[in-house]
């Protein structure tokens, strides 16, 4: 580690509370209400009141995004709770969904705020309604006059409107280069479903077998339906506190050991230098430069699985196995099971617990470190957890330590 | 009017016009740095290598290699017959330049990583606007001596 301790200002931050709203496939509830439910739950979980909250951060906030992708803007929550903040921010151009939490860590580390409320809220399930995912497709229903621009200029004209198609191509490249198989990839989905069965808040809890997986319809090779997460409604919030202000709170704080934010490759889905990996390569490598801990110190991993392949890709990026060996690493599923050497996505991941878009992994990392997982709690008092979110050209990760 | 299937077309501006319209000549064009030869894609007003603004459209051979692909079965939007192939191809002249595209004129199951392909344009007449030529790719005959 070439940095001094004084450089690592994320360590001046800790997590003191978490909260979630009702979660469901389609709740048809006001997304701001869901958001506020999660925020208030997190504030109370920390033993704070709205008057104590002096920072606010969210992803993506006010941005041009598909229907239901942004359940509440920072401004809406700011005003609804009548917060008086020393620092606030939101945006989509950051290191994945957790970039917003990392920004909060840096803000409290710099002394701009003491307790930052961070939230992520989605209502894609209800927003798409019975029209399904087509309703969220750029240009859908806009006929022949709609023209593609921005990054969509290079994908939409080729009938490639979805991350399912883009990430399927990364997976296909990985299959080609390293011999990864669908049997191996299936373990991400099967593991998630096994864990979701023990998570009362998960959306999909019915058992899934390998036959169910192979009988599912193909979306875009090599992905079948169960490799893809499903639009959902729900909000998650976490409180990031300045360490010296966390001592007397309700909970024992969870320390932020290191964060990873780098993006060295081109910020592009198809121009990225190595199509068998992604921005997670850079974010994960960056994180390990900011700690003396090693992948072997991690007790539980909560890794983004908006598509199954992304979790496999994060396993490699974070160094849990060599690059290219993610397939053999998860083969059979024993290693990533709750009682395996690296319990993965213990809440069910986005594939089974619901597409809460990044924050669900951080929430579950905290649940496991506080040992409040109930039936799904991993044994042996986990001390170190990694939470990672994002895929393609936008990724970020956090290493958390129970103290 | 054209009986081509629905396809979302790109918004055209001065920077991307050569790319989307040069198919008129039958040749694929990219913006190139006239000073250092670097192919700049997607097009930007400045060469990222030497920061020159001396960028000019330049024809390439149209030959490329499939870097990866997917056979898509999901009906995301009206238009294409299912399943269809979406691929990322690397152009011969500068393989770091990639295009997301469709592979046509072959069975989806015959597409493979490393497959040599060549550009084939789909001419899109545009009423009250500029006609566009969408660069798609098809299997390329193996070159003699290759």
pLDDT digits (tens, 9 = 90+) for B109-123: 999 999 999 999 999
The per-residue pLDDT for range A323-361, each reduced to its tens digit, is 999 999 999 999 999 999 999 999 999 999 999 999 999
Q: Which residues of A touch B68 (CB under 8 A)?
A: 169-170, 172-173, 176, 275
Give the pLDDT of residue B42: 97
pLDDT band at A2 (very low <50, low <70, confident <90, very high): confident
Instruction: Kindly determine whether residue B16 and residue A153, on different chains, have CB atoms separated by under 8 Å.
Output: yes
Mutate which of B40, B42, B73, B74 to test chain A, going by most A C-beta atoms within 10 A?
B74
Distance CA B88, CA A21 (A): 40
Q: From its phi and psi, is residue A60 left (phi > 0), alpha (psi between -120 and 50) or beta? A: alpha
Q: Is the pLDDT of residue A107 over 80?
A: yes
pLDDT at A141: 47
Q: Which two tokens stand for residue A291?
A: 């700690």
User: Chain B: residue nearest A276 by CA?
Assistant: B68
Q: Please report the ipTM that was assigned to this predicted complex.
A: 0.96
Better pLDDT: A65 or A22: A22
User: What is the spatial distance between Cα A136 and Cα A373, in angstroms, rounded to a whole number?
Assistant: 34
Q: Give the nearest chain B residue to A158 (CA atoms).
A: B101
CB A265 within 8 A of CB A274: yes
- The verdict on a CB contact (< 8 Å) between B77 and A173 is no
Q: What span, in angstroms and rounded, lies between the C-alpha atoms of B3 and B87? A: 24
User: CA-CA distance, B107 to A154, in Å (whole number)?
Assistant: 23
pLDDT the model gives residue A136: 63
Write the pLDDT tens digit of every residue in A253-295.
Answer: 999 999 999 999 999 999 999 999 999 999 999 999 999 999 9
Alpha-carbon span A151 to A143, nearest angstrom: 20
When scoring A137, A138, A158, A163 by the number of chain B Cβ atoms within 10 A, the one with the most, hence best to mutate, is A158
pLDDT-based confidence at A147, cuts 50/70/90? very high
Q: Is the predicted pLDDT of residue A139 greater than 90, yes or no?
A: no
Average pLDDT, chain A: 95
User: According to the model, what pLDDT value does residue B144 have?
Assistant: 63
Contacts of B83 in chain A (CB under 8 A): 218
Has residue B1 got a pLDDT over 60? no
Distance from CA of A181 to the nearest CA of B (A): 15
Are A168 and B70 inside 8 Å of each other by CB? yes
Check residue B125 and give its pLDDT: 94
pLDDT at A127: 95
Chain B closest-CA separation from residue A235 CA (Å): 27
Q: How far is A332 from chain B (nearest CA, A)?
A: 25
CA distance B1 to B5: 12
pLDDT at A222: 98
Q: In this predicted structure, what is the pLDDT of residue A126? A: 96
Neighbours of B5 (CB within 10 A): 11
pLDDT at A1: 57
- Taking CB atoms and an 8 Å limit, are B84 and A159 in contact across chains? yes
Candidate from A146, A149, A160 with C-beta closest to B86: A160
Nearest chain B residue (CA) to A137: B76
A377-395 pLDDT, tens per residue? Answer: 999 999 999 999 999 999 9
- Give the model's pLDDT for residue A339: 98
Contacts of B96 in chain A (CB under 8 A): 271, 273
Task: Provide the phi-psi class of A275: left if phi over 0, else alpha when psi is between -120 and 50, else beta.
Answer: alpha
CA neighbor of A280 nearest in space, from A359, A388, A184: A388
DSSP bridge pairs for A71: none
Whether A232 shows a pLDDT value over 90: the answer reads: yes
pLDDT at residue A219 greater than cutoff 60? yes
Whole-angstrom distance, CA of residue A100 vs CA of residue A92: 9
Quote the Cα angle for B71-B42-A100, to 5°: 80
Residue A300 and residue A371: Cα distance in Å, rounded? 12
Interface of B to A at Cβ within 8 Å reads 6-12, 16, 41-42, 67-77, 79-80, 83-84, 86-88, 96-102, 113, 134, 136
Q: Is B109 helix (H, G, I), strand (E, B) or coil?
A: helix
Mutation for testing the B interface, residue in A128, A143, A150, A160 having most B CBs under 10 Å: A160
Task: Give the list of residues 6+ apart from residue B3 with CB closer than 8 angstroms, or none.
Answer: none
A31-48 tens-digit pLDDT = 999 999 999 999 999 999
Query: With bands split at pLDDT 50, 70 and 90, how would you rate the model's confidence at A65?
Result: confident
**A160/B100 CB distance under 8 A:** yes
The answer to whether residues A388 and A303 touch, using CB atoms and an 8 Å cutoff, is: yes
Write down the domain spans for chain A. 5-127+230-402
Report the 3 state secondary structure along chain A.
CCCCHHHCHHHHEEEEEEEECCCECCCCCCHHHHHHHHHHHHHHHCCCCHHHCCEEEECCCCCCCCCCCCCCCHHHHHHHCCCCCCEEEECCCCCCCCHHHHHHHHHHHCCCCCEEEEEEEEEHHHHHHHHHHHHHCCCCCCHHHCEECHHHHHCHHHCCCCHHHHHHHHHHHHHHHHCCCHHHHHHHHHHHHHHHCCCCCCCCCCCCCHHHHHHCCEEECCEEHHHECCCCEEEEEEEEEEHHHCCCCCCCCEEEEEEECCCCCCCCCCCCCCCCCCHHHHHHHHHHCCCCCCHHHCCEEEECCCEHHHHHHHHHHCCCCCCCCHHHHHCCCCCCCCCCCCCECCCCHHHHHCCCCCHHHHHHHHHHHCCCCHHHCCCCCCCEEEEEEEECCEEEEEEEEEC
pLDDT value of residue A134: 62
pLDDT in the model for residue A145? 79
Among A228, A229, A222, A323, CA closest to A276: A323
More confident residue, B142 or A143: B142
pLDDT one-digit tens code per residue, A170-208: 999 999 999 999 999 999 999 999 999 999 999 999 999
Question: Rounded to the nearest 5°, which phi and psi values hold at A295?
Answer: -50, -35
The CATH number, out of the four listed (3.40.50.10860, 3.40.47.10, 3.40.50.20, 3.40.50.10800), of the domain defined by the range A5-127+230-402: 3.40.47.10
């Amino acid at each position: 580690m070439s940095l001094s301790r004084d450089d690592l200002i994320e360590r001046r931050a800790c997590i003191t509370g978490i909260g979630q709203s009702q979660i469901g496939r389609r709740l048809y509830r006001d997304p701001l209400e869901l958001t506020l439910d999660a925020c208030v739950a997190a504030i109370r979980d920390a033993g704070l009141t709205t008057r104590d909250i002096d920072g606010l951060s969210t992803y993506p906030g006010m941005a041009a995004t598909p229907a239901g992708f942004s359940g509440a803007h920072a401004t809406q929550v700011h005003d609804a709770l009548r917060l008086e903040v020393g620092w606030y921010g939101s945006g989509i151009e950051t290191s994945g969904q957790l970039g917003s939490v990392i920004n909060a860590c840096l803000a409290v580390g710099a002394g701009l705020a003491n307790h930052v409320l961070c939230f992520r809220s989605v209502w894609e399930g209800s927003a798409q309604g019975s029209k399904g995912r087509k309703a969220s497709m750029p240009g859908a229903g806009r006929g022949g006059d709609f023209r593609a621009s921005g990054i969509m200029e290079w994908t939409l004209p080729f009938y490639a409107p979805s991350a399912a198609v883009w990430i399927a191509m990364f997976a296909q490249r990985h299959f080609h280069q390293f011999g990864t198989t669908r049997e191996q990839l299936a373990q991400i989905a099967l593991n998630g479903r096994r864990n979701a069965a023990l998570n009362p808040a998960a959306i999909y809890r019915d058992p899934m077998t390998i036959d169910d997986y192979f009988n599912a319809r193909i979306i875009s090779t090599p992905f079948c339906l169960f490799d893809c997460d499903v639009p959902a409604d729900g909000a998650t919030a976490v409180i990031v506190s300045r360490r010296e202000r966390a001592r007397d709170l309700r909970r024992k704080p969870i320390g932020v050991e290191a964060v990873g934010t780098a993006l060295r490759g081109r910020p592009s889905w198809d121009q990225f230098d190595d199509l068998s990996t992604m921005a997670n390569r850079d974010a994960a490598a960056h994180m390990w430069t900011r700690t003396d801990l090693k992948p072997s110190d991690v007790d539980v991993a909560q890794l983004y699985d908006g598509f199954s392949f992304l979790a496999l890709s994060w396993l490699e990026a974070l160094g849990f196995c060599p690059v290219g060996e993610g397939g053999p690493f998860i083969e059979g599923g024993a290693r990533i099971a709750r009682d395996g050497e690296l319990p993965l996505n213990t809440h069910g991941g986005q594939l089974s617990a619901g597409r809460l878009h990044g924050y669900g992994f951080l929430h579950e990392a905290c649940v496991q470190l506080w040992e409040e997982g109930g039936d799904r709690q991993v044994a042996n008092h986990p001390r170190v957890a990694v939470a990672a979110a994002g895929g393609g050209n936008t990724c970020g990760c956090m290493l958390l330590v129970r103290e | 009017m054209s009986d081509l299937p629905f396809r979302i077309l790109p918004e055209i501006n001065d920077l991307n016009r050569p790319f989307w319209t040069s198919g008129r000549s039958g040749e694929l064009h990219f913006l190139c740095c006239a000073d250092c030869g670097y192919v700049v894609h997607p097009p930007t007003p400045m060469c990222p290598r030497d920061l020159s603004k001396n960028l000019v459209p330049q024809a390439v051979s149209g030959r490329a290699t499939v870097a990866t692909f997917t056979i898509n079965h999901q009906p995301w939007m009206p238009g294409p017959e299912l399943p269809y192939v979406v691929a990322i191809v690397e152009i011969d002249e500068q393989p770091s330049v990639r295009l997301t595209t469709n592979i046509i004129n072959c069975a989806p199951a015959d597409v493979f990583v490393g497959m040599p392909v060549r550009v084939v344009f789909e001419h899109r007449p545009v009423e009250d606007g500029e006609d566009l030529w969408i660069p798609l790719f098809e299997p390329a005959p193996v070159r003699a001596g290759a």
